Chains A and B, each alone.
Chain A
Amino acid sequence: MRTNGSVYVSVVVALLVAYFSYQWWYNPRRAIKRQLGELAATLSVPPGGGGDIDRLARVARLRNYFAPDVRISTGASRPELTSRDALVGAVAAWTPPAGGWNVTFVDVQISLESDTTARAYMTVEIASPDPRTGQPAYDAREVRAELAEQEGAWVITTAEPVQTLQRP
């Protein structure tokens, strides 16, 4: 009886270890969240801009997170970006605020559509120091994105804002 109990406990422990190992290493949702976290870090700008080399490196790294034919919608009043090159060009041309900013993706929800496609829904929060007070000022927007696994990495294929409060 005691031997059977030990076997059951061992099986349960082994199953738990297998489950958590899968969650930790192989779950695509985790891989996507990790990828999005790296993207947020790449989009963040340190105070002072970090210098030209740092800026160029960050812009170059952006290519790792987007599909070549990515479509990015930033809002009704601005034109849609329809390629990775256009996106990288827009980011390279943009002048970051002097105090830098910190981008974080919070409340990230991932749903797998197939083995190679997924959807992400999240809040993008941007914190930057107020030029007058120096205190952090926050802005946040909801974003819906579609991702695809290409050459072993998850990349964003479309991204669009979601209107939390809809004006007439």
Chain B
Amino acid sequence: MRNVLFGSNPRHTAIRVVVLVAAAAVTFGVILLPVRLSGISMEPTYYDGALNFANRLAFAWRQPARGDIVAIRMAGPSVVYVKRIVGLPGERVEIEMGTVIIDGRPLAEPAVIYKAPWNVPALTLGNGEYFVIGDNRAMTVQNHDFGRTTRERIVGKMLF
């Protein structure tokens, strides 16, 4: 029984346990933020209740890009929005009859299946600002949280 619990060399087993616990603590405490999705605003890419992770190191060496699905923190990282970036700093963004228009050109969005006729007036993003929106555009515009956010609120990129 003792051999089963502690192995043939208890010292090595203890080291393995410490290394595993430390690796798990670093991975899930520092690098990956567990996210359980709630709501339908990212369908069909993500469904309500899905479990995912936000990679906090994704933007350590590069800036967020258009098409990235990111986690956006609220007061802290315990509750985050999960949205897709459509507008980058300095760009002019508007939505006309459901089509996102960036600097006067319609944006191709293969992840969006159906576009309800949303109309959102144009705005120009400032330095370090991003425009984020969910993939489910079949919702009414009133029930969908989207808009401008800042770089420091972006916690990380969704892992898968």
- CB atoms of B74 and A168 under 8 A apart: no
Q: Which of A108, A137, A143, A164 contacts B149 (CB 8 A)?
A: A164
Tell me the smallest distance from the CB of B151 to a CB of chain A, in Å.
14
Establish whether residues B74 and A140, one from each chain, have CB atoms under 8 Å apart when the complex forms.
Answer: yes
Q: Which positions 105-138 of chain B face chain A at CB distance < 8 Å?
A: 120-123, 132
- Whether B39 pairs with A142 at a CB distance below 8 angstroms is no
Asked whether A166 lies within 8 Å of B75 as measured between CB atoms, the reply is no
A167 surroundings in chain B (CB, below 8 A): 120, 146-148
Question: B72 contacts A165, CB within 8 Å?
Answer: yes
A86-115 CB mask vs B (1 if < 8 Å, else 0) is 000000000000000000001111000000
A122 within 8 A of B: yes
Inter-chain contacts of A109 with B (CB < 8 A): 75-76
A129 and B111 CA atoms in complex are apart in Å by 29
Contact B81 A165 (CB under 8 A): yes
On whether A106 and B79 interact (CB within 8 A), knowing A142-B74, A168-B121, the answer reads: yes
A24: interface (CB < 8 Å): no
What CA separation (Å) do A167 and B121 show in the bound complex? 9
Residues of A within 8 A of B78 (CB): 106-107, 123
| Those of A116-168 within 8 Å (CB) of chain B | 121-123, 125, 135, 137-138, 140-143, 162-168
Select B148's contact among A107, A121, A162, A166, beta carbons within 8 Å: A166
Q: How far is the CB of B96 from chain A (nearest CB, A)?
A: 12
A122 touches B75 (CB 8 A): yes
* Chain B: interface size category: 20 to 34
Q: Is B49 an interface residue, CB under 8 A from the partner?
A: yes
Q: What CA separation (Å) do A65 and B92 show in the bound complex?
A: 44
Chain B nearest CB: distance from A121 CB in Å? Answer: 5
A163 contacts across to B, CB distance below 8 A: 147
Residue of B39, B79, B145, B149 with most chain A CB atoms under a 10 A cut-off: B79
- Can you name the residue of chain A whose Cβ is closest to the Cβ of B95? A168
Contact A164 B72 (CB under 8 A): yes
Q: Is B153 an interface residue (CB 8 A)?
A: yes
A107 to B121, CA, bound (A): 33
Which of B75, B83, B123, B149 gathers the greatest number of chain A CB atoms within 10 Å?
Answer: B75
Sample of 5 more A-B contacts, CB < 8 Å, known A123-B76, A168-B120: A137-B38, A140-B79, A165-B81, A165-B83, A168-B148
Which A residues fall within an 8 A CB radius of B? 106-109, 121-123, 125, 135, 137-138, 140-143, 162-168
Q: Would you mind naming 25 contact pairs between A and B with Cβ atoms under 8 Å apart?
A: A106-B79, A107-B74, A107-B75, A107-B79, A108-B75, A109-B75, A123-B75, A123-B76, A123-B79, A135-B49, A137-B39, A164-B72, A164-B145, A165-B81, A165-B83, A165-B145, A165-B146, A165-B147, A166-B149, A167-B120, A167-B147, A168-B94, A168-B121, A168-B123, A168-B148
